[in-house]
Amino acid sequence: MDADPDKWFFDRVNRNLIQLHSIEEVLYTGRTNFQSLEIIRTGAFGQCLVLDGKIQSSEVDEFIYHEALVQPAMIAHPHPESVFIAGGGEGATLREVLSHKTVKRAVMIDIDEGVIAACKRFLPNHSRGAFDDERTELHHVDARDYLARSGEAFDIIIIDLPDPIEEGPAYLLFTQEFYRLVRDRLTASGIISVQAGSASLTELLNLSAVYNTLRSVFPVVRPYQIDMPAFGGPWGFCLASLNLDPAQLSPEEVDSRLAVRALGNLRFYDGVSHRGMFSLPRYIRTALAAQTRLITDKEPLYIYHV
């Protein structure tokens, strides 16, 4: 390995583990009003978005993350028309939402306009024109404040935010109070999808605490995981609803709904993948069952990164 540190990006997975990525080119580096921002080209994963020193997305495997975050909730809903997205600055979450022709309106809230501007310039293949779609409404405001003030109801609410870090822009969007607000802004058959952090054996606190907090608000909560190579291991998500249970969908039903909605060009998600994501290994199920931590405004959860 080349010993020159300028040729390697140190992605701190946790306080005890660092993943190294070879740097072919630094395309952009700077700071927005909320966080540090870099766009780098790596040897293994191509162009990557880096926020506060953490890789958030890579052009090679972003489709895995974004299809997993968006498609299970969208397919579980019988006819999603209105969608709210918190975060998702690359535009790939928006892209996946708009792949459903049933969607009439997609409201995307990302407080950091600088991230979106950089991604439009350097990572246009993530959004693939989604920002210019006539169904898109983009606002650079606080997502929690928007939901509290608007009073609107949505079929799907997607929380695509960085992990909660102290003084970061997202930590108050992982709390019980926020999930209660989300519950009140869902339609009768609405679903919330949340990126819930690492699902690695030694890093289950965020996933299990998010799961437990959602269970205090919603009667149906279903955790699932995928493998994310650029993140260094498995990654966790949670779906929550008042009445719909995505985990009960058979592979055949998922594939049937995908066909009806003309979504045959997905690269990761289908009926078999759906069943596999919700088939969690025993150690994760044990950790989820044992977790008692509630994330609240007064006692937020911070995930160590630096």
Same domain, 93 and 212: yes
pLDDT digits (tens, 9 = 90+) for 6-45: 799 999 877 788 899 999 999 999 999 988 999 999 999 9
Please report the pLDDT score of residue 14 as a whole number. Answer: 74
Average pLDDT over residues 226-231: 95
Residue 4 has pLDDT above 80, yes or no: no
243 pLDDT band (50/70/90 cuts)? very high
| Of the listed ranges 171-175, 261-265, 280-284, the one predicted with least confidence | 171-175
Domain-located, residue 296: no
Distance between CA atoms of residues 61 and 38, nearest Å:
18
Same domain, 125 and 202: yes
Average pLDDT over residues 214-238: 96
Same domain, 210 and 235: yes
> Is-catalytic flag, 160?
yes
Based on the structure, what is the number of domains in the chain? 2
Domain-located, residue 197: yes
Domain-located, residue 20: yes
Structure token pair of residue 155: 């079929």
Same domain, 103 and 248: yes
303 pLDDT band (50/70/90 cuts)? low
CATH classification of the domain holding 18:
2.30.140.10
Please report the pLDDT score of residue 167 as a whole number. Answer: 53
Please report the pLDDT score of residue 148 as a whole number. Answer: 95
Domain that holds residue 220: 62-290
Domain boundary among 41, 58, 75: 58
pLDDT digits (tens, 9 = 90+) for 117-173: 999 999 999 999 999 999 999 999 999 999 999 989 999 999 998 776 545 557 788
Q: Are 203 and 303 in contact (CB under 8 A)?
A: no
Q: Residue 56 contacts by C-beta under 8 Å, 6 or more apart in sequence?
A: 48, 49, 50, 90, 162
Q: Could you give the count of Cα atoms lying within 13 Å of 13 in the half-sphere of its Cβ? A: 21
Same domain, 168 and 233: yes
Q: Which residue has the higher pLDDT, 1 or 131?
A: 131
**CA dihedral sign of residues 68, 164, 137, 79:** positive
Same domain, 16 and 155: no
Domain-located, residue 264: yes
Domain-located, residue 51: yes
* Active-site option among 11, 112, 160, 255: 160
Domain-located, residue 306: no
306 pLDDT band (50/70/90 cuts)? very low
Average pLDDT over residues 204-230: 96
